Amino acid sequence: MMDTPIAAMQPRRTLVLHRSSRLAPPMAVGGHGVWLVEQGGREVLDASGGAAVSCLGHQHPRIVAAIQAQAGKLCYAHTSFFTSEPAEALADELVGDAPGGLCQAYFVSGGSEAVEAALKLARQYFVEIGQTQRSHIVARRQSYHGNTLGALAAGGNAWRRAPYAPLLSPAFSHVSPAFAYREQRADEDEAGFVARLAAELEAEFQRLGPDTVAAFIAEPVVGATAGCVTAPAGYFQAVRAICDRHGALLILDEVMSGMGRTGTRHAWEQEGVAPNIQAVAKGLGGGYQPIGAVLVSERIVAAIEAGSGAFQHGHTYLAHPIACAAALEVQRVIREDRLLDNVIAMGGRLEEKLVERFGNHRHVGDIRGRGLFRAIELVADRATRDPFDPALQLNARIRKEAFARGLACYPSGGTADGRCGDHVLLAPPYIVSPAEVDLIVDRLGEAVDAAIASLR
Ligand code: PMP
The pLDDT of residue 8 is 54
Parallel/antiparallel/unpaired status of strands 277-280 and 249-254: parallel
In 3D space, the residue among 222, 431, 223 whose CA is nearest the CA of residue 345 turns out to be 431
Contact by Cβ (8 Å): 285, 323: yes
The pLDDT of residue 10 is 58
Could you state, in chain order, the average pLDDT of each consecutive group of 10 residues for the chain (456 residues)?
52 67 80 97 96 98 98 97 97 98 98 98 98 98 96 94 97 97 96 98 98 98 94 98 98 98 98 98 98 98 97 97 98 98 98 98 98 98 95 95 96 82 97 98 98 96
User: Alpha-carbon distance 225 to 391, whole Å?
Assistant: 17
38 has which bridge partners? Answer: 28
Distances (CA, A) of 390 to 38, 379, 393, 419: 30, 11, 6, 12
User: Alpha-carbon distance 274 to 249, whole Å?
Assistant: 11
Question: Residue of the nearest CA to atom 9 in ligand 1?
Answer: 146
Question: Residue of the nearest CA to atom 5 in ligand 1?
Answer: 256
Question: Residue of the nearest CA to atom 13 in ligand 1?
Answer: 111
Q: What's the per-residue H, E or C state across 12-52?
A: HHHHHHHCCCCCCCCCEEEEEECEEEECCCCEEEECCHHHH
Atom of ligand 1 nearest to the CA of 292: 15
In CATH, 6-60+338-453 is 1.20.1250.20: no
Helix (H, G, I), strand (E, B) or coil at 374: strand
Contact by Cβ (8 Å): 429, 31: no
- Residues forming CATH 3.40.640.10 domain(s) in the chain: 74-336
The pLDDT of residue 1 is 42
Ligand 1, residues at Cβ distance < 6 Å:
51, 110-112, 115, 144-146, 219, 223-224, 253, 255-256, 281
In CATH, 74-336 is 3.40.640.10: yes
In 3D space, the residue among 254, 264, 259, 256 whose CA is nearest the CA of residue 223 turns out to be 256
- Residues forming CATH 3.90.1150.10 domain(s) in the chain: 6-60+338-453
136 has which bridge partners? Answer: 213
Phi first, then psi: what are they for 175, rounded to 5°?
-115, 175
The pLDDT of residue 352 is 98
22 C-alpha to ligand 1 centroid (Å): 22
Exposure string over 283-311, b if 16+ CB within 10 A, otherwise e: bbbbbbbbbbbbbbbeebbebbeeeeeeb
In 3D space, the residue among 233, 246, 122, 245 whose CA is nearest the CA of residue 180 turns out to be 233
Q: Can you spell out the DSSP letters for 197-245?
A: HHHHHHHHHHHH-GGGEEEEEE-SEE-TTTSSEEPPTTHHHHHHHHHHH
Atom of ligand 1 nearest to the CA of 224: 5
Other Cβ atoms less than 10 A from the Cβ of 22: the count is 8
Contact by Cβ (8 Å): 55, 330: yes
The pLDDT of residue 9 is 55
Contact by Cβ (8 Å): 221, 270: no
284 C-alpha to ligand 1 centroid (Å): 12
Helix (H, G, I), strand (E, B) or coil at 179: coil
48 C-alpha to ligand 1 centroid (Å): 14
In 3D space, the residue among 344, 364, 363 whose CA is nearest the CA of residue 354 turns out to be 364
Predicted model pTM = 0.96
User: Alpha-carbon distance 428 to 409, whole Å?
Assistant: 9
Other Cβ atoms less than 10 A from the Cβ of 19: the count is 12
